[in-house]
């Protein structure tokens, strides 16, 4: 999104304000400069622009209900150069939809524009700024985004319990952990390390194929780590989605248990992504890895793209996928 150059604004503002005060004084009105904080507050409370520029996008069917439903007032959660995330109130307390540039991570709650972030299709907006979602479009800032195409964020795999290529699984693990490195050496920024840490506890639960212990580990991971989607949440989202898509018999129970922990403990964006994961809806990067693991696409570039997503998100999601693969494998062997 276009960043505002504060230096330029401050350098030109006195002349502009003086001109405005001169015209206002001639008309007989008292004048007073509007403080910058007041201008930002105005941006947060003003209605979304009705004369917004129409822009087409490719929308996830995971947000079809929001887009096709009645028009709802929404608020900006966060805006960065490649995305604007909006919170939309509903009877569940709220949902999230994103307007993403073509080079952003292809999240399952996104409407993806056909332009990259370096083309500056998005304009920076403060958190809390108004928007509208529904009636077939998203209105945010000076954009009205409508779905010109749809994509399914749930990867279509060969069957309900797809067989993964053993060599592909080894390739994924080597890329994630480092070839020849013990899994116990794996770390993520913001997550405690060592034998008493949550990742060690998760590994122990996986070795025992103990879903209850894995769920107890989730109480230590949800909300843990920095960022709009904490690394602990990303590990759980990757695990949930993997269990669902690979056909683990306890996937639904595990997903419900993890989601029950999220209220008040993590961000709204992270909660929304966990909801999508429970339905098997994942990012395009995560889906590409799964397609590679069943032999439908080249695996190496898909793994590289997933691991490069965000500062920690891609690696955490990949760890979650490896966790799900192990749990499915051990559960299958026991039965």
Q: Is residue 38 part of a domain?
A: no
The whole-angstrom separation of Cα 161 and Cα 189 is 33
Residues 185 and 313 occupy one common structural domain: yes
Name the burial class of residue 277, with classes exposed (0-12), middle (13-18) and buried (19+) by CB atoms within 10 angstroms of its CB.
Answer: buried
- Identify the DSSP state of 62: G
pLDDT (mean) for 181-188: 83
Residue 298 has pLDDT above 50, yes or no: yes
Residues 224 and 201 occupy one common structural domain: yes
Nearest to 254 by CA among 290, 212, 282: 212
Residues 139 and 96 occupy one common structural domain: yes
Q: Is residue 320 part of a domain?
A: yes
DSSP 65-100: HHHHS--EEEEEEEEETTEEEEEE--TTS-EEEEEE
The whole-angstrom separation of Cα 298 and Cα 288 is 9
Q: Is residue 77 part of a domain?
A: yes
SS3 182: coil
Q: Is residue 145 part of a domain?
A: yes
> What's the confidence (pLDDT) of residue 249?
95
Last residue of one domain, picked from the residues 92, 118, 151: 151
Q: Is residue 261 part of a domain?
A: yes
Residues 267 and 221 occupy one common structural domain: yes
Name the burial class of residue 275, with classes exposed (0-12), middle (13-18) and buried (19+) by CB atoms within 10 angstroms of its CB.
Answer: buried
Half-sphere exposure of 296 (CA within 13 A, CB side): 14
Number of neighbours of residue 6 by Cβ within 10 angstroms: 9
User: For a pLDDT cut of 90, what percent of the chain falls above it?
Assistant: 70
Least confident of 52-56, 203-207, 230-234: 52-56
Last residue of one domain, picked from the residues 116, 151, 186: 151
Domain range enclosing 110 = 44-151
> What's the confidence (pLDDT) of residue 60?
98
Residue 153 has pLDDT above 90, yes or no: yes
Residue 97 has pLDDT above 50, yes or no: yes
Q: Is residue 31 part of a domain?
A: no
Q: Is residue 192 part of a domain?
A: yes
User: For a pLDDT cut of 70, what percent of the chain falls above it?
Assistant: 84
Residues 321 and 182 occupy one common structural domain: yes
Arithmetic mean of pLDDT over the chain: 86
Last residue of one domain, picked from the residues 125, 151, 177: 151
Residues 147 and 176 occupy one common structural domain: no
Residues 64 and 202 occupy one common structural domain: no
What total of structural domains would you count in the chain?
2
């Amino acid at each position: 999104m276009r960043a505002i150059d504060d230096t330029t604004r401050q350098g030109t503002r006195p002349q502009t304000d003086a001109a405005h005060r001169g015209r206002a004084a001639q008309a007989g009105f008292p004048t007073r400069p509007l403080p910058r904080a007041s201008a930002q507050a105005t941006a947060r409370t003003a209605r979304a622009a009705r004369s917004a520029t129409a822009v087409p996008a490719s929308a996830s069917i995971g947000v079809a209900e929001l887009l096709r439903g009645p028009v709802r007032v929404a608020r900006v959660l966060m805006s960065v150069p490649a995305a604007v995330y909006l919170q939309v109130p509903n009877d569940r307390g709220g949902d999230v939809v994103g307007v993403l540039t073509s080079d952003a991570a292809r999240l399952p709650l996104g409407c993806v524009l056909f332009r990259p972030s370096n083309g500056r299709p998005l304009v920076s907006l403060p958190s809390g700024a108004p928007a509208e979602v529904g009636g077939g479009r998203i209105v945010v800032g000076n954009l009205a985004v409508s779905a010109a195409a749809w994509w399914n964020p749930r990867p279509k795999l060969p069957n309900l319990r797809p067989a993964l290529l053993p060599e592909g699984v080894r390739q994924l693990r080597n890329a994630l952990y480092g070839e020849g490195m013990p899994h116990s050496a794996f770390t993520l920024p913001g997550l405690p390390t060592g034998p008493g840490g949550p990742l060690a506890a998760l590994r122990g639960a996986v070795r025992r194929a103990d879903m209850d212990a894995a769920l107890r580990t989730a109480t230590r991971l949800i909300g843990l780590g920095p960022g709009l989607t904490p690394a602990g949440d990303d590990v759980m989202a990757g695990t949930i989605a993997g269990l669902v898509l690979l056909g683990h018999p306890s996937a639904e129970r595990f997903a419900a248990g993890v989601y029950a922990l999220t209220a008040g403990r993590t961000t709204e964006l992270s909660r929304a992504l966990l909801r999508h994961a429970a339905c098997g809806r994942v990012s395009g990067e995560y889906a590409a890895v799964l397609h590679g693991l069943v032999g439908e696409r080249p695996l190496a570039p898909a793994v590289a793209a997933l691991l490069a997503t965000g500062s920690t998100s891609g690696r955490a999601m990949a760890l979650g996928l490896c966790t799900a693969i192990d749990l499915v494998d051990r559960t299958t062997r026991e039965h």
